[in-house]
Structure 1
Amino acid sequence: MRELTFENVTVRFGSRRRGTVAVDDVSLRVPAGQVVGLVGESGSGKSTLARAAVGLAPLASGRISPAPHERHVQMVFQDPYSALDPRMSVGESIAEAGRRAVDVAGLLELVGLPGDRAGDRPHLLSGGQRQRVALARALAGDPEVIIADEITSALDVSIQGAVLNVVRELQRRMNLTMLFISHNLAVVRYVSDIVAVMKDGRIVEYGPVDEVLGDPRHEYTRELLAAVPRPAH
Structure 2
Amino acid sequence: MSELRFEAVSVRYGHGRHSMTAVDDVSLTVPSGEIVGLVGESGSGKSTLARAAVGLTPISAGRITLDGRSIDVRSGVRRQLQMVFQDPYLSLNPRMSIGQSIGETMPDRPRSQRSAEVRRLMQLVDLAPERMSQFPAQLSGGQRQRVALARALAGQPDVIIADEITSALDVSVQGTVLNLVRDLQSQLGLSMLFISHNLAVVRYVASQVVVMYRGRIVEHGPTADVLADPQHPYTRELLSA
Tell me the TM-score normalized by structure 2.
Answer: 0.92
Deviation at 1:62, TM superposition (A): 0.6
Question: What are the residue-to-residue correspondences of 1:206-221 with 2, within 5 Å?
Answer: 206-221=220-235
- Partner residue in 2 for 1:33: 33
Deviation at 1:14, TM superposition (A): 1.1
Deviates more, 1:59-68 or 1:210-219: 59-68
Q: Identify the match of residue 72 of structure 1 among 72, 76, 80.
A: 80
Paired AA for residue 99 in structure 1: P
Q: Alpha-carbon deviations, 1:168-200, whole Å to 9, x = none?
A: 100111001000000001000000000000000
Deviation at 1:16, TM superposition (A): 3.9
Identity %: 65
Paired AA for residue 100 in structure 2: E
- Partner residue in 1 for 2:19: 19
- Partner residue in 2 for 1:231: none
Deviation at 1:68, TM superposition (A): 4.9
Alpha-carbon distance in 1 for matches of 2:72, 2:229: 35
The alignment partner of 2:91 has SS state of: coil
The alignment partner of 1:57 has SS state of: coil
Q: Identify the match of residue 107 of structure 1 among 109, 121, 128.
A: 121
The alignment partner of 1:161 has SS state of: helix
Alpha-carbon distance in 2 for matches of 1:50, 1:166: 21
Deviation at 1:166, TM superposition (A): 0.6
Q: Alpha-carbon deviations, 1:55-105, whole Å to 9, x = none?
A: 001000110012154111100000011011011000100011111324000
Paired AA for residue 38 in structure 1: L
Deviation at 1:116, TM superposition (A): 1.5
Deviates more, 1:35-44 or 1:15-24: 15-24
Deviates more, 1:16-25 or 1:121-130: 16-25
Q: Alpha-carbon deviations, 1:136-173, whole Å to 9, x = none?
A: 00000000000000000000111110011111100111
Alpha-carbon distance in 1 for matches of 2:22, 2:105: 29
Q: Does 1:97 align with 2:97?
A: no
Structure 1 alignment gaps of length 5 or more? 228-233
Paired AA for residue 221 in structure 1: T
Deviation at 1:2, TM superposition (A): 0.4
The alignment partner of 2:96 has SS state of: coil
Alpha-carbon distance in 2 for matches of 1:188, 1:168: 11
- Partner residue in 2 for 1:230: none
The alignment partner of 1:81 has SS state of: helix
The alignment partner of 1:7 has SS state of: strand
Q: Does 1:118 align with 2:132?
A: yes
Tell me the TM-score normalized by structure 1.
Answer: 0.96
- Partner residue in 2 for 1:162: 176
Structure 2 alignment gaps of length 5 or more? none
Deviates more, 1:169-178 or 1:60-69: 60-69
- Partner residue in 1 for 2:5: 5
1:53–1:68 contact (8 Å) kept in structure 2 = no
The alignment partner of 2:178 has SS state of: helix
Alpha-carbon distance in 1 for matches of 2:63, 2:98: 35
